[in-house]
Structure 1
Amino acid sequence: MKAATFFDGGGWREGVVEIGDGGRMLLREVAVPDDFPRLDGVITGGFTDHHVHLQLVDHTLLTDSVLGRVVDLGANPEAIARLAVHDSVSSSPGRPSAPGPGQPAEVLAELCTPPVAIEFAGAFLTPPGGYPSDRDWAPAGSFREVASTEEAAAAVAEMAAAGASLIKLASNSDASPVFDDDLFRAIIDLAAERSLPVVVHTQGPGQAQRAARLGATTLAHAPFTERLTDDEIAEQAASVTWISTLAIHDGAEYRTAVDNVRRFHAAGGIVLYGTDMGNGPTPVGLNPREIAALRESGIDGLDLLRLLAPADPRDPASALFLLPGDADPLRARRLSPADLKV
């Protein structure tokens, strides 16, 4: 048993780490004497990636990562629901080999999944011919083309029945048609009836502001196609959360996104760590390029830990991770029994 400083998702607290039944390490919040043996470093739970696409990566690699929760924002609802149901099944030496992009839902469903909590939106909702229906990378069933309020109601009901905790809506005017205002609002309202927030992929001039005006709660990407004015940043910060996904960009789009995030964060806007995992050769785990981009945007230290949304390490179901004294998430590792030896 050792004393430890830990991060509960909001701030620093004190407690002890001990080995419980079955050899599982547990953290308890208690007052600790000054002379008690102490861990060298600080404790946190697994981090959250708020934007992933598990059908496009070898998701079994999450087992060895420092992520404790992922939010899938666009997948075949049947396939991702099966993964989510089995999210507490540990990996085993005899499991089947991992699927490649676009393999059938049956292959994904048969795999043992890592002990990482999986939340999901299910399929993208998009107008006929809308993004990502024209993309080769989009797995079968990962989007629903919606042309009317009736079709929107059916699509939202389908995602809710599959177990979705949110709805994903596409609004990409750079490459495809987008919903008109009435149908966009209707989807927001239909989702709200089921207490499902709506996350919107916005791309193209004016789309980020339009999504906020029409009632979206979260943008799947920090705006990258245009530099928002300071007034627009203030409006966004008052009502909308941004998922970062900075590292998927380069050149002018990267500079625009970083500049927008820097001013949005300074204005009090809520940024969540997300990588669009599966968009190109992204790591299946914590992404050093995303962390570096967030730091370039002026987000570091306690603010960086907060947007990583780690699980509360006091939760017996949470894995425990040890960070160095400077709490750098890129140096986090799983806590081991050897760390508790005096």
Structure 2
Amino acid sequence: MRAATFFDGEGWRDGILSVDDGGRMLLRDEPSTPDLPHLDGVVVGGFTDHHVHLQLVDASLLAHSALGRVVDLGGNPDVLRSYAGEARFVSLAGAPSLNERNLAPRSLSGRSETKRIDPTFDDRRSVTIEYAGAFLTAPGGYPSDRDWAPEGSWREIGTVADAEATIAEMADAGASCIKVASNRTAGPVFGDGILRTIVELAAERGLPVIAHAEGTGEAQRVARLGARALAHAPFTDLLTDEEIVEQAASVSWISTLAIHDGDDRDRAIDNVRRFHASGGTVRYGTDMGNGPTPVGLNPGEIAALREAGVDGIDLLRALAPADPLDPASALLLLPATTLDPLDARPLKA
């Protein structure tokens, strides 16, 4: 046994590490005794990427990463359910690529990243998968006309009856949230009335709405109509300080900063910097599958978040590590001096 310092999602606590009969490391939330040696480093659970598209990547590579949880924000619900299962907990090691159609990767910006695969991670690791299911979009709206969008990955909603049926379908498929496409730059978007109805119907099922808001004024509009989170930190508008304060009080932002370059990137980082300073909740997310992104922690996203002032313990909060006290959680070791998530290593007996 060893004494250990661990991150509980908000701050640091002391606990005791032990090894079960199967050789798995377990963490207990209890004070240590003076005779126990102290672990060199700090313990966290596997990190979360809050915005991925598993059908556009080789998801088996997740087993080689520091990610312990991913949230898919747009795909075929039947495919996603087949991988996640009822408990949304599945070992991906050795699994075939979900990209069976060999689709060309999409890209909003042409920006590319180099895959970072750490061969020291145990191939038997498991990853928790949550998902929204299909994009909900207006008739003819984004991404219904995109080559990269897998078959069955969107539903066009024209009436309240369509919304009722689709939200029921996603809920029955095991969705943990609802994804709405509100991309005014790429086609029609929902009017205020139907979007508010979608939010209300989703709330009746206990499902928060996460919106892809793109185009002038869309981030403010979807927040005003009840979206709980933005799938991308706003990048088409430089929000005013007053708008930032309003957003910080009502919605969370999923970062996805590294998919941008040029003015879009500058606006997104400026917005995140002020949103974070105003007490807004920033979640780490990469839009994994948008171009050749890493299947794992994205160094470009980490660097962009730091550029926006999200670092140290705030960066760990954005990464939302799994509960290290959960016996099913994969435990990671970070250097106590830097707390750099890119230096995370699996904690082994």
Q: What residue in structure 1 maps to residue 99 of structure 2?
A: 100
| Matched ranges for 1:270-281 at <5 A | 270-281=281-292
C-alpha distance 186-255 of structure 1, shift in aligned 2 (>3 A) = same
**Is residue 325 of structure 2 the alignment partner of residue 324 of structure 1?**
no
Once the 2 structures are TM-superposed, how far is the Cα of residue 21 of structure 1 from its aligned partner? Answer: 1.9
| Letter paired with 2:68 | G
Contact 2:210 2:230 (C-alpha < 8 Å) held by counterparts: yes
Contact 1:71 1:118 (C-alpha < 8 Å) held by counterparts: yes
C-alpha distance 90-277 of structure 1, shift in aligned 2 (>3 A) = same
| Letter paired with 1:37 | P
User: Counterparts of 2:168 and 2:124 in 1: how far apart (Å)?
Assistant: 26
Contact 1:101 1:139 (C-alpha < 8 Å) held by counterparts: no
Once the 2 structures are TM-superposed, how far is the Cα of residue 312 of structure 1 from its aligned partner? Answer: 1.3
Contact 1:60 1:114 (C-alpha < 8 Å) held by counterparts: no
Q: What residue in structure 2 maps to residue 221 of structure 1?
A: 232
C-alpha distance 231-263 of structure 1, shift in aligned 2 (>3 A) = same
Q: What residue in structure 2 maps to residue 125 of structure 1?
A: 136
What secondary structure sits across from 2:16 in the alignment?
Answer: strand
Per-residue CA deviations over 1:131-188 (Å, capped at 9, x if unaligned) read 0011110000000011111111111111011000110001011111000111111111
User: Counterparts of 2:348 and 2:46 in 1: how far apart (Å)?
Assistant: 14
| Letter paired with 1:64 | H
C-alpha distance 134-158 of structure 1, shift in aligned 2 (>3 A) = same
| Matched ranges for 1:1-16 at <5 A | 1-16=1-16
**Is residue 200 of structure 2 the alignment partner of residue 199 of structure 1?**
no
| Letter paired with 1:329 | P
Once the 2 structures are TM-superposed, how far is the Cα of residue 90 of structure 1 from its aligned partner? Answer: 3.1
Q: What residue in structure 1 maps to residue 23 of structure 2?
A: 23
**Is residue 313 of structure 2 the alignment partner of residue 302 of structure 1?**
yes
What secondary structure sits across from 1:100 in the alignment?
Answer: coil
Once the 2 structures are TM-superposed, how far is the Cα of residue 103 of structure 1 from its aligned partner? Answer: 6.0
Q: What residue in structure 1 maps to residue 107 of structure 2?
A: none
Q: What residue in structure 2 maps to residue 75 of structure 1?
A: 75
User: Counterparts of 2:331 and 2:156 in 1: how far apart (Å)?
Assistant: 42
What secondary structure sits across from 2:194 in the alignment?
Answer: helix
User: Counterparts of 1:156 and 1:69 in 2: how far apart (Å)?
Assistant: 23
Once the 2 structures are TM-superposed, how far is the Cα of residue 265 of structure 1 from its aligned partner? Answer: 0.4
Gaps of 5+ in 1: 105-111, 338-342
Contact 2:90 2:128 (C-alpha < 8 Å) held by counterparts: no
Once the 2 structures are TM-superposed, how far is the Cα of residue 303 of structure 1 from its aligned partner? Answer: 0.6
| Matched ranges for 1:148-187 at <5 A | 148-187=159-198
C-alpha distance 160-240 of structure 1, shift in aligned 2 (>3 A) = same
Once the 2 structures are TM-superposed, how far is the Cα of residue 130 of structure 1 from its aligned partner? Answer: 0.2
Q: What residue in structure 2 maps to residue 263 of structure 1?
A: 274
Name the one with the larger helix percent. 1
Gaps of 5+ in 2: 104-122
Normalising by structure 2, what TM-score? 0.91
User: Counterparts of 1:197 and 1:102 in 2: how far apart (Å)?
Assistant: 30
**Is residue 348 of structure 2 the alignment partner of residue 336 of structure 1?**
yes
What secondary structure sits across from 1:116 in the alignment?
Answer: strand
Q: What residue in structure 2 maps to residue 145 of structure 1?
A: 156
Once the 2 structures are TM-superposed, how far is the Cα of residue 113 of structure 1 from its aligned partner? Answer: 9.8
User: Counterparts of 2:189 and 2:161 in 1: how far apart (Å)?
Assistant: 17
Q: How many residues align?
A: 328
User: Counterparts of 2:263 and 2:101 in 1: how far apart (Å)?
Assistant: 31
| Letter paired with 1:215 | G
| Letter paired with 2:257 | L
Contact 1:55 1:102 (C-alpha < 8 Å) held by counterparts: no
- Out of 292, 297, 300, the residue aligned to residue 289 of structure 1 is 300
What secondary structure sits across from 1:295 in the alignment?
Answer: helix
| Letter paired with 2:13 | R
Once the 2 structures are TM-superposed, how far is the Cα of residue 36 of structure 1 from its aligned partner? Answer: 2.1
What secondary structure sits across from 2:186 in the alignment?
Answer: coil
User: Counterparts of 2:213 and 2:90 in 1: how far apart (Å)?
Assistant: 35
Q: What residue in structure 2 maps to residue 85 of structure 1?
A: 85
| Letter paired with 1:192 | A
Contact 1:262 1:297 (C-alpha < 8 Å) held by counterparts: yes
Contact 1:88 1:113 (C-alpha < 8 Å) held by counterparts: no
| Letter paired with 2:345 | R
C-alpha distance 154-313 of structure 1, shift in aligned 2 (>3 A) = same
C-alpha distance 210-193 of structure 1, shift in aligned 2 (>3 A) = same
